[in-house]
Amino acid sequence: MKAVARFWIFLALLALLSPLGLLLPGYFKAGSAWGEWGADEMNGLVGYLPGGLGKLSNVWSAPIPDYAFKGWEDKSLSSLSIAYIFSAVIGMLACVGIVLLLGRLLSKNK
């Protein structure tokens, strides 16, 4: 299937372009998505941190938080863009790997 081969190239292109999703919001001074604020932002918005939210918000610690490496919070936008592309590639590889594995289990005529 030729179309499927083209899709893979298309995905690689999307990974390379993904930092747009980081740079454009920065350029247009757009903040977090609505309802996806961190604890500090929430404090600033409503004047207090809801008790349950404070407790639950740190229940899971992701290895690559917000598509950036840990400790990179203050890095420049270009470094963050590299991390973003890296995250896109890792994330897509993980998606592909898991679906192929599921596919072996689920699809008929193996």
Partner 1 sequence: MHIPDGYLGPGTCGLFYLIMLPIWTAASRMVKKTLSARQVPLLAIGAAFSFVVMMFNVPIPGGTTGHAVGGVLVAILLGPWAACIAITVALVIQALLFGDGGATAIGANCFIMAFVLPFCGYYIYKAVSRKAALGSRRRVFAAGLAGYVALNVSAGFAGFVFGIQPVLYKTANGVALYCPYGLNVALPVMLGEHLLVFGWVEAIVTALVIKYLQKHAPELLREEGCP
- Interacting residue ranges for partner 1, rule: CB under 8 A: 1-4, 6-8, 11, 14-15, 17-18, 20-22, 24-25, 27-36, 42, 46, 48, 50-67, 84, 87-88, 90-96, 98-100, 102-104, 106-110
Kindly report the backbone phi and psi dihedral angles of residue 69, in degrees, each rounded to the nearest multiple of 5, phi listed first: -75, 150
- Angle formed by the axes of helices 77-106 and 2-17, to 10°? 150
Q: Which is nearer to partner 1, 78 or 108 (CB)?
A: 108
Asked whether 83 and 68 are in contact (CB, 8 A), the reply is: yes
**Shortest separation between residue 76's beta carbon and partner 1, angstroms:** 18
